[in-house]
Every structure is written in C-alpha cells, then in structure tokens.
Structure 1
Amino acid sequence: MSYRLDGGTPWPEEFVDRYWMAGHWRGDTLDGLLRDRARSSGPRTALVHDGERVTYAALNRRVDRRAAGFRQLGLRPGQQVVVQLPNVPELVVVLFALMRAGVFPVFCPLSHRAPEVSALVRLTEAVGYVGPSTHRGFDHTAMVAEIAAEGPFLRRVFTFEAPGASSPYGGFTTDPAGCYYVPLHAVDAPPEPALALSAGQVAFLQLCEAEGEDDDGGDGGGTEPRLVPRTHNDYAYQARAAAERAALTEDDVYLAALPAGADFAFGCPGVVGTLAVGGTVVLSESAEPAACLPLIEREGVTVTALTPAVAGSWLDALPTSTADVSGLRLVQIGGAPLPRGVAERVGPELGCRLQRAFALPEGVLTLTRPTEPDETVHATQGLPLSPDDEIRIVDADDRDVPDGESGELLARGPYTPRGYYRAPELNARRFTADGYFRTGALAHRAPDGNLVVTGRVTPRAGARPRRA
C-alpha cells in the first residue's frame, strides 16, 4: 500500500520512465536504506553526539521501536508531523521512524517561533509536533500549546522530557484543546511488521524560503511557508549521487555542524548520504569553531559542510586553536556567495580540498569535483549532480542566452520536484509549463561548462505567468 500526499505535483510518466531506465531511481525508501545498512554494517558507529555513540544496529532498533510507538500513540500513515529538533541523535531517529510509520515529517528550523510554526501546522494540517521542551531558554511546549488552541489539527506533542514548571502540561496529559503531550522516551513499543511503503511517494516535506522573499512580485512581504514534497526515490538518488561526487566511503566521518534538518546538511550528501555508504555522522549542536574544531580532532572527522560565514569563522580561529584538523579531507561550502579570499584560504589553512556547492531545497544541486583544479573550485559552483539534469540559462523573456552570458538558472531533473505543496499560484510563477524550476539565481556557464552563480535575479513588478 502507498500513502499519497495530496497537494503535490507528480513527475510526468515519461520522466518517471526515463529516471527508472537510467538507474537513478531504484525503489529505495530512505528508511529502507537504513535497514539495509544495519544488516551489512550493524556493529559500525552510525551516530556520535557528545559522549553517545550509536551503532547502525542500535539506530535501526531505535527507529523500529519509535515507529511502533508513534503508531501506538495514534499517528496514522498519510498524516503529517512538524519536526523541530537540534542536532542530536533523536532528530535522526524521529525522522526515520516517522517515515517508517508512513507519516510525513515536516522539517522546521529550530529558530522558528509561533508565527512560522503555526503557519506550517495550518498549511499541512499537521496532527503532531516533535521538539524540545525548552531550548536555550525558549519554551517550545508553551508555544505549541498556543498553536494547538488555535485550530483543530495539532493533537500530539512529543518532547524530550516532561515540561518544566513554567508549562501547564506534563507528560501523558491532555490540555483543554484536546492536545496530548508525551515525552519522547515514552514513544516506544515492540516493533511491528513493516509497512509496504512506495519509494515513489513522498518521504518528507522540506521547508524553503518564505513566499515573497524573492518572488517575482517583488514586495518581499509574504509569510506563507514554501514546502517541497521530496519522494524517497528522488532524495535517495540525490544523497547517493552527492556521496559519489564527494567520494564518500564507509571510512568517512561526516560532521553535521549546520542544522541537520536543512537540505545541505541532510542530503548533499550530509546525514543521509553518509548513512547510505556506512560512514559515521558526528552531530554538533553548534557550528562555532570552539565546539567543532576539537570535535574534528577527537572523532577523526574527514568531511563537513559549511556556509561561507561559518567557514570564515573557523579559518580565523585556527591560529589560536590547539585542535589538530589534519584529518579533514573535504569541506563543502554553499548557501551564500563565497568570497574568493575565503575560498583560497581553505586548502592551505585547513589542509583539505574545497568543494563548492549550490544547493536549494527544491532539489537543485551543483558540486565541484574534489579532483578539479583550484581555479575551477575557487571560481565556480561546479556541474549539476546528474547526467539527466537539464539546465537552462534564460533572459527576462525566457530565451536561452549564449554560453558565458548571465541569466536566470532554470533546472529540471530526477531530484527536482515539479511543484511546491498546496501552492498552485506559486507553482505557476516558479515552474515553467514543461517542468523547469525557476531558481531565481543569476548564473552563467564558464568556458569549461561549470556553472557560476553570481547573485539573484532582479525582481520585476507583476507575477510571471506559466509559459506554454
């Protein structure tokens, strides 16, 4: 049985057939990748956080029991649950357990507060929420209690522990709105027979920029969340292909310093790609150099992903740090324009290769190759991930520009979904009639074919219609 998510846009059948025939889509579910890896790499370390070390076998058991616990406590296949957790093992356990239970996780940054979380709940009609009780002084339980009182959807709240005295609701209690509060450690039950999940169906919903931030209307004032439904097939392919581009193996140790629920750190190759090859994921709740540089030495970290700002802070901290970071072999940098000066410092100062990335939650990903010359890595964002990625660079009238000239980057391919969730008007503006996603990025092709992303397309008044 498959559990469909209404409000998504499927790939046309001709493209489904093409991606299957090419071997990009293999029928792998994300939780199935973990289950298979637990069989082949059971004693190996999958996750590290502070003093906790979790093997693949133990991680798979925890996912099994958590999935059964979620079902026992009323979550049903096809429902949606907002997940707002820091970089801790429970984040990985919860995401895979929800997917294994046929429930769709809705990724939510830990920094979001009531307006943003409430909007996610309304848009998705989420029946559940998973988050910390409190985090860095903020009471997440109280926030969720307010959201639950606003509408009929949210009825299950799972947190790290019973809320403190500041919150009126404890574990296994029901508030006046009928919302049930459960500590996560109690979401545990004997494993049940596995559901027959379809790899062609949605695995989770990835959060993108808020409507209005870069859209063609240009007012910048929208707050409606943008969600991209990612299927098991497309995301498993993205993570697997990114792992190949990064030459990731089971001997690698990946440091998740950026939020692990964001696309760059989750699947570029990130957490999913590392687990797929049998490597080790080290989770850090802070990207600060004081936290991460010692981790690199202690855990033998070989690969990580950073933003330009974080990379700059690490480089600036190196002269006064006593940590030995010589085990690093690859640092990915994406998420914002990378100053040339910072790019040129990575290799000499960190003693590793730089991999440039241009990654969007909508499923657009370009990466340089570790073996490319420094000049290519310093000056470009590399090539698209897949041989079946179709890239266009167009002018304001959607005419293809000559190589070397700048225009808006459009993309379609086996890991680029065809639409946002429950957003037909937005889809009409951001996707062409033949399925290309308008990234909003200004780019051009270098002479060697690599892409150079230079900024954002200048907004124009008026919504751009879907073209025939």
Structure 2
Amino acid sequence: MTSHTSAGTVAWPDDLAAGFRRKGYWEDRPLGSLLLDAADRLPEKTAVVDGDVRLSYAGLANRVDAAAGRLLQLGLKADDRIMVQLPNGWQFTVLTLACFRAGIIPVMALPAHRRYELSFLTELSEARAIAVPDAIKDFDHQALAEELAAAVPTLDVILVSGAANTGNTRLEDILAPGTEVAAARARLDAAAPSADSPALFLLSGGTTGLPKLITRTHNDYAYNIRETSRVTAVTEDTVYLGTLPASHNFPLACPGILGILYAGGRVVMLPSPEPRKAFATIEAEQVTLSTAVPAVAQRWIEHQQETGSGQLASLQVLQVGGSRLPDEIARKVKPVLGATLQQVFGMAEGLINSTRLDDPEEVICTTQGRPVSEADEVRIVDEAGMDLPDGVPGSILTRGPYTPRGYYRAPEANTRAFTPDGWYASGDIVERRPDGNLIVQGRDKDMINRGGEKISAEEIESLVYRIEDVTMAAAVSMPDPTLGERLCLYITVKPGSEVTLQIIQQLLRETGVAAFKIPERLVVVDELPVTKVGKINKKDLRADIARRLAGAGVNAG
C-alpha cells in the first residue's frame, strides 16, 4: 500500500532500484535499525555529548525507542510528518532517531526560520506535529508554533524543549529513558517502516521562492551516509564535533551525526562554532573530525593565528563545504589548524563530492573533490544540454542511488530541475579536471549563497514589491570576504518617493522572514539594466556592486 507521503514523491524506476539492490547500494534496512547495531556492540561507550549530558549507546538506544513509543501514544503514526526546528543538542539527535524508528517523517527546518517559511512548509508537508525550543535568545519559538497550530488544520501536537505552555508537551518528557527496553524494541522492530519509504524531508536552497521538500528514503540516505563515512575514514574511534545547524544535510549525514553514530563513534554537539568554545571542546573531548562552512573555517584560522592555541592537537580532519572555499584559505587549514582539509561540494538533493584524505595538497586546496560513490553519474553540459569536455565550465547534471528523482509535491519545480530520464540540474557551474575532480565556478541560477545559507532572489523581490513605492526590484549577490556573498537589493522607486534600507528590512522582519534573507545593502537607481530580451541584467548589477565596493574600499558587510 502506498503511503500518503510516497504518493507525493517521484520514485526511482523499478529496474534501477533493482540494480541498486543487486549491487549492494541499497540494503533494505530502515535507518532506525542501524543505531542498534552500534548499541549492541558498544553499549557502555559514550555516544552523544551535549554540555553536561553524556549518553551511552545503550542509553541513547533506550531513549530513542522509548520516545518512538511515546510519539505513537500521542496519536502520531507512521508516515505522519513532524516539523523539527531544534538547535544543536541531544534532543535533536534523540528525536530524529526516534522518528526513524517509528516511521514518522521529520521535516528538517532551521532554527533561523520564522513564520513565513514555517507556515509554508507546515502546510506543504501537512505536518501533524512540530518540535521547537521554548525560546532562543529573544525569540519565542513556542508562541510561533502556537500561531502555526491555529492556522494550519493538520498541526495538532506541539513539542517544546524547555518550559512548555499549558496544552503543549514537554519534549524532554517524550525523550526520557524507558523502563521496558526489550519490549519497546520488539514492538518497534515488528512495525519497522519499509526501507523504500520516506525517512525525512530535507529543505532545498531553492531559487524560485520558498524551499522545496526533498524526500530522502531510508535506503538512499543510508547509502549516502555509508559512502561519505567511507571517504572520511569514519570508525568507532571518530569523535565528531557538530557546530553547524544539525538539520542541514552536511552536518547530519555527510557523514555527520548519523555517520558517526552508526559507526560507533562519539558525537559532540555545540549550538555555535564560536572559536573559543569550539576549541575548548575539541581539546576536552579529543575531537578528531568537524565540519565548517568557509566563514567558520576562516574564523577558526584567524583565532588560531591570534592565540597560538594548543587545543587542536587531536583534530585530524576538517570538512569544509556549503559554498566554495577560496584557495588561499584552503592552503592555511593544514599549516594553521593542523588538520587535513576535506573539501565537500554537494547538495541535499543527493550528489556529494569530496576530496580524499590522501589526495595531493594541490587537489585538496584547489578543487572541491569528486563523487563519493562509483554509482554517481555526473555530466557537465552547456546551455543547450550538450556535454562539454574536461576543463570547460558548464552546468552540472547528476543522478544516482542517493539522488532523488524529484521534489515532494512540486511538479512545476520537477519539470525545471529534473530531466525526463532523471538527471538533476542543481544550477551549479563547475569545471571537471581530467583527474575527475570538480572546481565550483558559481551558479547559473538566481540565488545568493550567504555563508552556506541559500537565498532565493525571486522570493525576496516578490516581498519587496509589497512596498507600493517600489517600481522595480532586483536582488543580487555582492562579494564578501567572510561569507562569500551577501544580499544586495537594487530598486527603482516612484518619482518623489523615498525607500530606505531600514524600511525594507522592517517589512521583511514583519513578514516573518528568516534574518539571513534580509538585504544588507540597498542601491536606489533611476533604471535597471536589461538584457536584449528585456529581462533585468543581473550580471551587470553584480559587476556594478563589485565596482562600488571596490571603489569605496570597503567590505560588503
């Protein structure tokens, strides 16, 4: 019987799926069962560290199964969707694994998302539940969850980490240890989800407005985790520090939290990559592996150069991805931090490329690696879809056993992003070298990549047009030495009108847009340049803002 969620997904053709099984790519084991292998083998070993909380593998498996049972007792059932908007912490890990065990599908929202994004995602996924912190800094996540529940008919369960209001359920109570360990395990094993069923929804960094939902099945995600673990040499001795938002594919499963737990290693979680706390944690826990986006890697390098800290002796590998790492920063990782750099270029839609730990320094520092799986297919094509030779930049197309064939309930987006024979076009412009390594050259789509967080220009423009005095709007990337890109907005206005950056920022905040999407510079012009076919010429605008920044002698921030 096809599940409700499966009905909105695009399946791999039967012959391909059979081939993936025959070749051992898909092992037909649900993700929830993989943790139990490590727990049975290493019950007393520490699995998760979060501040003063230390969970052994036996303790983690117990909490996971107990939580899965309690979620079902709340009235949730297999194939129901739950919005997960939690910061890095043990609660995120236990809840995610509990969902895998129960067949409940987590939708991986970001702590930075606000009403605008969450209401859309909750409605699209028809979520039954949402898990939030009570508050982070000065933002009341619980109040927002209550607003969503009032507005979205399907949403009737609110789980709150921290202090729960009347009518909501305290998440920590759901995640508490159970007393009937063997019985809980037997019940969940007997009702385990199919490995072909959706395991979780990741969010796209979409260019055409709000994020799209990426369906990842138990089979394809397990293979993603296995292959990235292999090329990162993960073992039960690996100690992983997770500081990037755990709901992103990179720190979650490339190999990330799940890869380390399935191998029997130790996961250490921090809510922020701030160097002082991160370095102290690396020393205290003897961390061997961590992930960073380029801006974080740069901050760590600068902090190490300033302090000469001896705290990084255990760190063996630093993975850097999310956006292109400048070569000059890449060359500093090993000499300054003492860790081998592993560049990672991938997408939540599937394909992961990485440099190998034993690659020559030139490959590690100047490329973004090559596919992690022998089964990954990659083409580099021109605007007409014709294959290009090595050394010539073009658009990347990919397909394979962990690259889904379409977005969830998004037929129009699927027509744009996927070819009829299953090739996914990510919008990245890359050059393939003769040795197979890829160099990321930019984007062919209208997207700003702010430190690894993707911002749709179209989405921001459509919101800015709510200001009556704005006649034309164009959101473009502007170069930034720390984040790679920031968002710059060009506008034209009605004669005699005045629209300021502050007005636009206030509108977007009131709309409930994530803070990272709010423009950081405004340029008001008499007219916007257009192409021969009448479209706004954003290439010219990007060149213009680069000139303005260079002429002013300032950074984009």
**How far apart, in 2, do the equivalents of 1:347 and 1:203 lie?**
37
Secondary structure of the corresponding residue to residue 398 of structure 1: coil
Secondary structure of the corresponding residue to residue 267 of structure 2: strand
Secondary structure of the corresponding residue to residue 379 of structure 2: strand
* 1:171-210 deviation digits (Å, cap 9, x = unpaired): xx2xxxxxxx111133266536011321111100001114
Contact 1:211/1:226 (<8 A) preserved: no
- 1:94 counterpart = 2:95: yes
The one-letter code matched in structure 2 to 1:428 is: T
Aligned to 2:116: 115
**How far apart, in 1, do the equivalents of 2:106 and 2:192 lie?**
18
**How far apart, in 2, do the equivalents of 1:374 and 1:306 lie?**
19
Runs of 4+ in structure 1 displaced over 3 angstroms?
1-4, 458-462
Secondary structure of the corresponding residue to residue 8 of structure 2: coil
Sort the Cα spacing of 1:200 and 1:458 in 2 relative to 1 into closer, same or farther, 3 A.
closer
Q: In terms of Rg, which structure is larger?
A: 2
The one-letter code matched in structure 1 to 2:355 is: T
**How far apart, in 2, do the equivalents of 1:455 and 1:162 lie?**
44
**How far apart, in 1, do the equivalents of 2:308 and 2:51 lie?**
20
Aligned to 2:372: 385
The one-letter code matched in structure 1 to 2:424 is: F
* 1:25-46 deviation digits (Å, cap 9, x = unpaired): 1112111001121111111111
- 1:436 counterpart = 2:423: yes
Q: Equivalences for 1:230-249 in 2 at 5 Å?
A: 230-249=216-235
- 1:397 counterpart = 2:384: yes
Aligned to 1:201: 197
| 1:353 alignment partner, one of 328, 334, 340 | 340
C-alpha deviation, 1:272, in angstroms: 0.9
* 1:353-376 deviation digits (Å, cap 9, x = unpaired): 110110211012001100000001
- 1:271 counterpart = 2:257: yes
Contact 1:334/1:358 (<8 A) preserved: yes
Q: Equivalences for 1:32-431 in 2 at 5 Å?
A: 32-163=33-164, 169-170=165-166, 173=167, 181-187=168-174, 191=184, 193-194=187-188, 195-212=191-208, 222-223=209-210, 225-318=211-304, 319-320=306-307, 322-431=309-418
Sort the Cα spacing of 1:102 and 1:379 in 2 relative to 1 into closer, same or farther, 3 A.
same
C-alpha deviation, 1:70, in angstroms: 0.6
C-alpha deviation, 1:458, in angstroms: 5.3
**How far apart, in 1, do the equivalents of 2:207 and 2:378 lie?**
24
**How far apart, in 1, do the equivalents of 2:31 and 2:3 lie?**
15
Contact 2:30/2:192 (<8 A) preserved: no
**How far apart, in 2, do the equivalents of 1:445 and 1:21 lie?**
30
Contact 2:91/2:172 (<8 A) preserved: no
Structure 2 alignment gaps of length 5 or more: 447-530, 535-557
Aligned to 1:219: none
* 1:78-115 deviation digits (Å, cap 9, x = unpaired): 11010010110010100111121111100000010111
Contact 1:2/1:196 (<8 A) preserved: no
Q: Equivalences for 1:445-456 in 2 at 5 Å?
A: 445-456=432-443
**How far apart, in 1, do the equivalents of 2:239 and 2:445 lie?**
40
* 1:276-327 deviation digits (Å, cap 9, x = unpaired): 1110000011111011011110000000110000000000001316452011
Secondary structure of the corresponding residue to residue 312 of structure 1: helix
C-alpha deviation, 1:160, in angstroms: 1.4
**How far apart, in 1, do the equivalents of 2:330 and 2:34 lie?**
34
C-alpha deviation, 1:383, in angstroms: 1.2
The one-letter code matched in structure 1 to 2:418 is: F
The one-letter code matched in structure 1 to 2:366 is: A
Sort the Cα spacing of 1:151 and 1:324 in 2 relative to 1 into closer, same or farther, 3 A.
closer
The one-letter code matched in structure 2 to 1:420 is: Y
Sort the Cα spacing of 1:324 and 1:186 in 2 relative to 1 into closer, same or farther, 3 A.
closer
Aligned to 2:521: none
**How far apart, in 2, do the equivalents of 1:27 and 1:136 lie?**
42
Flag the structure with more relative contact order, 1 or 2, with Cα contacts below 8 A and sequence separation at least 6: 1
**How far apart, in 2, do the equivalents of 1:209 and 1:372 lie?**
30
Secondary structure of the corresponding residue to residue 135 of structure 1: coil
Structure 1 alignment gaps of length 5 or more: 164-168, 174-180, 213-221, 463-468
Aligned to 1:27: 28
Contact 1:3/1:77 (<8 A) preserved: no
Secondary structure of the corresponding residue to residue 37 of structure 2: helix
**How far apart, in 2, do the equivalents of 1:367 and 1:131 lie?**
33
**How far apart, in 1, do the equivalents of 2:289 and 2:315 lie?**
6
**How far apart, in 2, do the equivalents of 1:55 and 1:295 lie?**
18
Secondary structure of the corresponding residue to residue 293 of structure 1: helix
Sort the Cα spacing of 1:458 and 1:267 in 2 relative to 1 into closer, same or farther, 3 A.
closer
**How far apart, in 1, do the equivalents of 2:129 and 2:94 lie?**
16
Aligned to 2:487: none
Sort the Cα spacing of 1:4 and 1:40 in 2 relative to 1 into closer, same or farther, 3 A.
farther
C-alpha deviation, 1:438, in angstroms: 0.1
**How far apart, in 2, do the equivalents of 1:321 and 1:138 lie?**
36
Contact 1:66/1:97 (<8 A) preserved: yes
| Mean CA deviation greater in 425-434 or 144-153 | 144-153
- Percent identical across equivalent pairs? 40
Secondary structure of the corresponding residue to residue 240 of structure 2: strand
| Mean CA deviation greater in 410-419 or 16-25 | 16-25
Secondary structure of the corresponding residue to residue 362 of structure 2: helix
Aligned to 1:216: none
**How far apart, in 1, do the equivalents of 2:199 and 2:278 lie?**
30
**How far apart, in 1, do the equivalents of 2:163 and 2:268 lie?**
27
Secondary structure of the corresponding residue to residue 297 of structure 2: helix
Sort the Cα spacing of 1:2 and 1:248 in 2 relative to 1 into closer, same or farther, 3 A.
farther
Contact 1:328/1:352 (<8 A) preserved: yes
Contact 2:105/2:200 (<8 A) preserved: yes
Secondary structure of the corresponding residue to residue 134 of structure 1: coil
Higher helix share: 2
Sort the Cα spacing of 1:139 and 1:314 in 2 relative to 1 into closer, same or farther, 3 A.
same
Aligned to 2:484: none
**How far apart, in 2, do the equivalents of 1:160 and 1:145 lie?**
14
C-alpha deviation, 1:421, in angstroms: 0.6
Contact 1:253/1:281 (<8 A) preserved: yes
Secondary structure of the corresponding residue to residue 240 of structure 1: helix
C-alpha deviation, 1:2, in angstroms: 7.7
**How far apart, in 2, do the equivalents of 1:54 and 1:114 lie?**
33
